[in-house]
Chain A
Amino acid sequence: MTWVLIAIIVASTSVGEVLQAIGMRRHGEICDFRPGALGRAASTLARNAVVIGSVVAMAVSFFAYLGLLSFSDLSFAVPVTAVTYVVETVLAKYVLKERVNWLRWVGAALVLCGVALVSL
């Protein structure tokens, strides 16, 4: 049960966060932090199909995460879901076309190893 929930969390988080990045990139950089401008940006984003998709995927991940938290330690549940780092870095390179230099690969790998150690 634990590992099924973790698989659901990893898959839905990765899809959700990549969709979120695509949606926000299409929207463009948020430069105006006054409440009115933030409200307008939020209402534009609420009608963006990619952003809606990302929120749905993250809601799935959230409820799977709630289920996991109910029977496991916080210091196990949070780190183990970080397998998404490597999945998402790969997706960032091939789907989002980011320039993932060696520093970022090493950084993602270190975080993954750290997370593995924390959760074993």
Chain B
Amino acid sequence: MTPETARLRTKTWICAVIVVLTQVFGNFFLKRGMPADLPSALDYITVLFRPWVALGVTLLVVWLLSRMTLLSWADLSYVLPVTSLGYVLVAFLGRWLLDERITSKRWAGIFLIVAGVSLVGCRSAPQTWKSGARS
């Protein structure tokens, strides 16, 4: 591994962790603050001023910005699977804090997602398009 690829990899992992955490907690607070249903179009706006929803939205804004930063150097086909680790964390948060049930099917799904993430994250370089353009 050259210093350049090592530098890119470290930077990619730090940024990916921020992307995953802001997405997971953003979604979690959003669900926590959502009312049972949204009958009118206006409710879609007013709901944004509930404290938990506002916190969720703020975190999702940070998620969007950190993801854009990550995409400024990393491939989309790399970022997608690696950041999907968030789905696993969301399932656990749903279980622990919202009392949603994780069935055996869901456990199997979580296992497959983790397998997919580790395959791409650990065995594939974050960036191919630059070298692809040169050749």
List chain A positions with a Cβ less than 8 A from chain B: 17-18, 20-21, 23-25, 27-30, 42, 45, 51, 55, 58, 62-63, 66-67, 69-71, 73-75, 78-79, 82, 85, 88-89, 91-93, 96-101, 103-104, 106-111, 113-120
Q: Looking across the interface, which residue of chain B has its beta carbon closest to that of A73? A: B100
Q: For B44, give its contact among A67, A93, A96 (CB under 8 Å).
A: A67
Q: Known pairs A91-B76, A111-B87, A115-B87. 19 more at Cβ < 8 A?
A: A18-B76, A20-B71, A25-B71, A30-B69, A71-B37, A74-B94, A74-B100, A78-B27, A79-B109, A82-B87, A93-B77, A96-B129, A97-B129, A107-B116, A108-B120, A110-B119, A111-B112, A114-B114, A118-B87
Distance A88 CA – B30 CA, assembled complex (angstroms): 25
Given contacts A70-B34, A115-B109, A117-B108, contact A24 B116 (CB under 8 A): no
- Contact partners of B80 in chain A: CB under 8 A: 85, 88-89, 92, 108, 111
Q: Looking across the interface, which residue of chain A has its beta carbon closest to that of B53? A: A66
Given contacts A20-B68, A73-B94, A110-B119, contact A99 B132 (CB under 8 A): yes
**Closest chain A CB from B55 CB (angstroms):** 15
Main secondary structure of the interface of B (DSSP, over half): helix
Distance A92 CA – B81 CA, assembled complex (angstroms): 12
- Contact partners of B34 in chain A: CB under 8 A: 66, 69-70
Q: Looking across the interface, which residue of chain B has its beta carbon closest to that of A104? A: B77
* A28 contacts B72, C-beta separation under 8 Å: yes
Distance A63 CA – B35 CA, assembled complex (angstroms): 14
Given contacts A17-B76, A69-B31, A74-B27, contact A117 B116 (CB under 8 A): no
The answer to whether the Cβ of B10 comes within 8 Å of any Cβ in the partner chain is: no
- Contact partners of A67 in chain B: CB under 8 A: 38, 44
- Contact partners of B102 in chain A: CB under 8 A: 75
Q: Mark B111-134, 1 if CB is under 8 A from A, else 0.
A: 111111101100110001100110
* A75 contacts B106, C-beta separation under 8 Å: yes
**Closest chain B CB from A48 CB (angstroms):** 10
